[in-house]
A and B are shown apart, each in its own frame.
Chain A
Amino acid sequence: MELLSGEARKWLRGAPFYVMLSVATAITLVPIIWVFASALKSNKEIRENPLALPGEWRFQNYIDAWFGASFDAYFFNSIFITVTSVAIVLVLSSLAAYAFAKMRFPGNQLIFFIFLVGMAFPLSAKLGPLLSLMYELNLANSRFGLILVYVGGSLPFAILMLRAFFQGFPQELEDSAALDGCSRFQFYLRILLPLSKPSLMALGIFVFMGTWNEFFQALLLINEDGKRTLPLGLTAFQDEYFTDFALSFAGINITAVPVIIVYILFQRNLIEGITVGSIK
């Protein structure tokens, strides 16, 4: 061992870890790579040799898949519903979390607790009456209705996270702002929000991913093709094209790519959103 330099010895000590991590990485990446590769093959190639790489890259599969279903509508719906939901969640949760974190009022603890209770229920706990309610309010089969459901679902976690963050703000900041004649709303708008940008970003990406990927409630509430979100649209597409292998793979990728792009751009914010909510 003395023959090896300290640097090499350190590397050798780490080698088993690299081996294990590489095996695990293969398990996560190979299926994804395989799905992307298969989307470029012909049906015949897939049928005859599922493991082989595409002979020629048939990007036409993507075009056929895109026009095989209303993917443009699904895309628009997903973007519209997700972006609107995230925006509403950020505004409402930051307002409420500010009150819970920094204001004294009768019911503060109780109402906050009632929000927390919302995180303890499984999704199926509300589905029946939710469906009746949405029909009653004429919000079933409506993008706007789905937004309200998503916002209601995300608020408990969002308020919990932002309240914890706002509680860390020094009281002196608010006191001196008050002395300068700054109202509480002005303080919220001009000081609290700008200083909370990283947390709002992490929360926003976290809520974005959850909303973009949501399936169960969309399946329950939306039954018109033109109003489907991407996950819902993908199921409709797959039902129709499951025997058309290559298009089926391309459809999966059309749904997966936007999430991968957001993940590459905002990976750190997303993981922060997950871990901040859990550790602290």
Chain B
Amino acid sequence: MAQRLSAGGNRGRSPRFRIDLMPYVFILPAVVIYVVFNLGPVLASFALSFFRWDLLAPTTEFIGLKHYDYILNDNRFWNALSHNFIFLGLAVVIPVTMGLFLAVFIYEIRRGRVFFRAALFLPAIFSGVVIAYVWKWIYHSFAGVLNAALEAFGLGAFTQLWLGNPNLALYSTFVAYTWASFGYSMVIFLAGLQDIPTDIFDAARVDGANFRQKLFRIVIPCLYDVFTFVITLRIFTAMGVFGVIYILTGGGPFYASDVIDIYVFRMIGNFEMGWATAAATVNTLIVVCLSTGFIKWRERRSWSS
């Protein structure tokens, strides 16, 4: 009880009949800015997707699901969404696996840990804009390092318009995304590894466990929650990918690398706010369902096993 009194901060006064206003003073500024500039617009986007818009201003005319009817019948909406799902499928496997293995390698070595961690994380510190321009030049048809290197190794037949070929453009942007993402997964895995008690590894060594046994029997089970976090993060970044694609291809050629956030941005630019808010709401529902569903599924599995 003494703890409760001091925590409530009503020293000497009756805590029961007096509402302590101090905590609200402490949280108020954060609440105001958060609600006005973040949560409010999200809720408004959802609510106003059922109303007619007049350019940038919502009107009071309720039109029900009309905007949804439009976007759900728009091939470009499904085209963009399908690309997000391709991104998602690749993103939960490739950067995550790379990050895991590189983290294990760094954990296993004795010298140079700090250097390798710093060097491998480096691309992750840049803005999507910088990453995109670096790769725009790598992919450049004749001044780019990729085609030049292929030529130099006698593989000239494999040179490509990496961003101009509709069959490749999306995957080319994914490579740029991965380049800047695996280091992020890696540092989180590495921190998780360093939290595993070392006597488990000592015991495994005494028992003569090899690398693969250690990986599958110790590292992966012990990092269960870390995996959940790393993959959830990929869900958010893959479903919300924007800057890298916006700069590398703008969603092109011919919408071949279009994604939802570029679709929404384009709608806003065309002052089609009704469609933009409806598309954003569908995407939000998908992201929230995917991420919470995934987390719930992982939690249930960890309890049942």
Contact = CB atoms under 8 A, between A and B. Distances in A.
Interface of A: 10, 14, 17-18, 20-21, 24-25, 27-29, 31-32, 34-35, 38, 46-47, 49-51, 88, 92-93, 95-96, 98-100, 102-106, 108, 111, 114-115, 117-118, 120-133, 135, 148-149, 151-153, 155-156, 159, 171, 174-175, 178, 184, 188, 209, 212-216, 219-220, 230-232, 234-235, 238, 245, 248-249, 251-252, 255-256, 259-260, 263, 267, 270-271, 274-275, 278-279
13 contacts: A24-B98, A47-B142, A104-B7, A122-B236, A128-B48, A129-B58, A178-B11, A252-B137, A255-B130, A260-B125, A275-B190, A279-B191, A279-B226
B134 A252 contact: yes
Q: Is the interface of B mostly helix, strand, loop or mixed?
A: helix
Given A178-B11, A209-B125, A104 B4 contact: yes
B75 to A, nearest CB: 19
A245 to B, nearest CB: 6
A113 to B, nearest CB: 12
B187 A274 contact: yes
Interface of B: 2-4, 6-9, 11, 19-20, 22-24, 26-27, 29-31, 33-34, 36-42, 44-46, 48, 56-58, 98, 101-102, 105-106, 108-110, 112, 116-123, 125-130, 133-135, 137-138, 140, 142-145, 148-149, 152, 179, 183-184, 187-188, 190-192, 195, 226, 229-230, 233, 236, 239-240, 242-243, 246-247, 260-261, 264-265, 268, 273, 276-277, 280-281, 283-284, 287-288, 291-292
Contacts of A38: 137
A212 B287 contact: no
Contact of B7 (A114, A122, A171): A171
A278 B229 contact: yes
B243 A216 contact: yes
Q: Is the interface of A mostly helix, strand, loop or mixed?
A: helix
B268 A131 contact: yes
Given A103-B9, A270-B125, A127 B30 contact: no
Contacts of A214: 127
A51 B6 contact: no
Contacts, number: 307
A270 B57 CA distance: 40
Given A32-B123, A92-B30, A215-B243, A275 B191 contact: yes
A220 B243 CA distance: 12
B134 A125 contact: no
Given A50-B148, A263-B122, A105 B24 contact: yes
Q: Which of B19, B105, B127, B138 has most chain A Cβ within 10 Å?
A: B127
B109 A14 contact: yes
B26 A96 contact: yes
A10 B205 CA distance: 13
Contacts of A95: 26-27, 29-30
Contacts of B121: 271
Contacts of B24: 99, 105
A29 B126 CA distance: 13
> Top 5 A-B pairs ranked by shortest CB distance?
A152-B37, A213-B127, A126-B41, A275-B191, A152-B38
A148 B119 CA distance: 33
A61 B236 CA distance: 38
A104 B76 CA distance: 50
Given A216-B243, A231-B130, A159 B9 contact: no
B119 A28 contact: yes
Q: Which of B8, B118, B280 has most chain A Cβ within 10 Å?
A: B280
Contacts of B33: 88, 92, 148, 151-152, 155
Contacts of B129: 213, 215, 231-232, 234-235, 255
Contacts of B264: 124, 127-128
A111 B123 contact: no
Q: Which of B26, B149, B247, B281 has most chain A Cβ within 10 Å?
A: B26
A28 B123 contact: yes
Contacts of B195: 279
A122 B56 contact: no
A46 B42 CA distance: 46
A155 to B, nearest CB: 5
